[in-house]
A and B are shown apart, each in its own frame.
Chain A
Amino acid sequence: MALALVACADQVGDGFDRRPGDPDRTPTTFATNLDVVILRTASSLERLAIGVYDAISGLGVVETPEVQATIDLFRNHHRDHAALFDAATNSIEIDSAFTDSNPVIAARLRPRLAAIRTENDALKLAYEIETIKSSTYFSTVGSFGDRKLNQAVMSVGGIEARHVTVLGDLLRSTASPPYPADGFATNQAAVVVGTGV
């Protein structure tokens, strides 16, 4: 049976410790509800993407109207995705949605963001983030206790894959293929569920 990889208790605990709010919540509460862990991870990745697109827009490196239109559209998509994941989380455990950018992945990507000098640099980072997200959402399918969430996560995962294609086509590089050569999505770039949340 396919199961999403779950971060160790330390990582789940770290995310909880930084979270303000209910003193009665414990890492165990989150760790025992995998659906909540997955959804919190998803929310964090959506907010990571929003933050990166905001940062890119503020750098002044985007020169092409088509690229700016792409960034604006994708950022709006990610806001809707975050809202979906937040609502799904809260419907399971009230006030449990993760409302920050994923701190672990953000720390990993911060040097890349700081190194952006050109529009192409920005597109490469956007491509990587969308690839991480589409791969992560695919990796969670089959792991949910509530089977309806498989549909929910792929309603987003499918769009992230389309984002990858748009960005890959803009980049026109063999390092950024617009679709998998063998025709199947993979979990190769997936974030371990629970990381940072």
Chain B
Amino acid sequence: MAQEANDVAPTVFAESLELSVMAIYVEAVQSGVLRPAISDVVNLFARHHQEHADAFGAASDGKQTGQAHPGVLLALRRRLERVVVDGEAGVLTLLVDIENSLAASYMFTLGSLVEPAAMMVTASILPVAGQHATVLAGALGRPVGALFTGAFETDAERFDPADFPVPTETTVKPPTLSSTSTTMSSSTTSIATGFQP
């Protein structure tokens, strides 16, 4: 059955978002400011984002691009460049914000999707974005009260395509997962620092 036309654009955008985020995760590890245990987790989350992109792509009725969103990727790279000077804390704070924005984006998308298959893909990924954010925020030592902005997921701070114009320069080439040098564990690694009271 052909995908509802309404559902194609959001899932294609979601695919491009996930690939953009995957690229930033790879570059965050390559920055060298993350401790090894945290690099391992960030690499695992990068793999998750690749798989999320594949899932959204499969739900895009053949319209998937396999490409990061150039505007999002450029904007995130610029933010990464600014925060890397703050070391691990700066980079992790950026990654937390990115994950929360992903969750917000999928909350927004759920309000417009028509096909249950597209809804299920989105709903299977939305909570994991929030879980990523929670893990990374915990690595920053945030207390439990600071891990939540409220009792509900919202669509505030979502990635809005209108906010990320496509740059005029030629293709913004993202790194690939195969360029990472650290091994990624398939287990669910808990970051050693855990949550602080």
Contact = CB atoms under 8 A, between A and B. Distances in A.
**Chains A and B are bound partners:** yes
Nearest to B186: A181
A77 B123 contact: no
A186 B131 CA distance: 14
Given A2-B117, A73-B148, A169-B190, A151 B125 contact: no
A186 B110 CA distance: 17
A70 B146 CA distance: 11
A174 B187 CA distance: 8
B31 interface: no
Interface residues of B, number: 47
Interface in A38-95: 64-66, 69-70, 73, 76-77, 80-81, 84
A161 B128 CA distance: 7
Interface in B84-139: 103, 107, 110-111, 113-114, 116-117, 119-120, 123-128, 130-135, 138
Most buried by A among B113, B119, B133, B147: B119
- Please name the 3 residue pairs, one residue from A and one from B, whose CB atoms are nearest each other, closest first: A142-B116, A183-B48, A161-B127
Interface of B: 47-49, 51-52, 55, 103, 107, 110-111, 113-114, 116-117, 119-120, 123-128, 130-135, 138, 143-145, 147-148, 151-154, 186-188, 190-191, 194-197
Interface of A: 1-2, 64-66, 69-70, 73, 76-77, 80-81, 84, 134, 138, 141-143, 147-148, 150-151, 154-162, 164-166, 168-170, 172, 174, 177-186
